Structure 1
């Protein structure tokens, strides 16, 4: 199953289309500030607004072998304790080898912002990012169908 952290995720529809081609179930998790209708492409789980409520629902939902799509490093770290396949909206595969440095980077940026500094936000999404994400997800799904 693919579980998508849909809060601010730019690749929900792209993920659902790819999953459908491979016959993989999807579950979209978001808080009440989002409304989705994907027909039969995905199960939708709506959680109450609140700090990390969607994150905790995702962690409780997943099991080993599931694929998680999130741009949240904290959620990615928690998911890596339960499954080996977590990736972001740009195709970056989170792993035990890179999650600590990503969390440290996030912490430093947060400290800069708290001190009144500014950190660079994400650039406008490009077609190349969608392509890189698609290739990463397709590669993962192809490997899993061969096993």
Structure 2
């Protein structure tokens, strides 16, 4: 098991590394060439800046027992399809029960924006978001441990 991170705009990289060290779980951060990253713990994979190159690399590396951190619903859906556990930077754990609704809401938002409309602004990140994320990540790691996975 490892934690794979869609790391380009991920605000919780430090929390991921700190938690992964505690559970002795490897972390792979995937970024494109417009970013630099070195935390002394993670394996960092840099891909070209082509559209979706980070997403494609992450999905190609993904194994069933892995945990994925992404805010991209498409990546989340593919991760779930491969049997991984997936969460976003705010601690939302993606499941088969919520991913279809999330993808549909994304689709509706895209239609509104293409037609010149506006959607709700993104809320500013808070310390509470970090706490919820950390609790969700620990929960997934503990669940994996209980189910006999590494870590």
TM-score greater than 0.5 by the shorter chain: yes
Q: CA RMSD in A?
A: 0.9
Cα displacement (A) at 1:50: 1.1
Cα shift at 1:47: 0.5
Map residues 54-133 of structure 1 onto 2, 5 A cutoff: 54-133=54-133
Gaps in structure 1 of 5+ consecutive residues = none
Q: Larger RCO: Structure 1 or Structure 2 (Cα < 8 Å, ≥ 6 residues apart)?
A: 2
Structure 2 unaligned runs (5+)?
A: none
Does structure 2 conserve the Cα–Cα contact (< 8 Å) formed by 1:67 and 1:83? no
- CA–CA distance in structure 1, aligned partners of residues 34 and 83 of structure 2: 28
Would you say how many aligned residue pairs link Structure 1 and Structure 2?
146
Aligned to 2:11: 10
Q: Tell me the TM-score normalised to structure 2 length.
A: 0.94
Runs of 4+ aligned structure 1 residues displaced above 4 Å come to none
Kept after mapping to 2: 8 A contact 1:71/1:88: yes
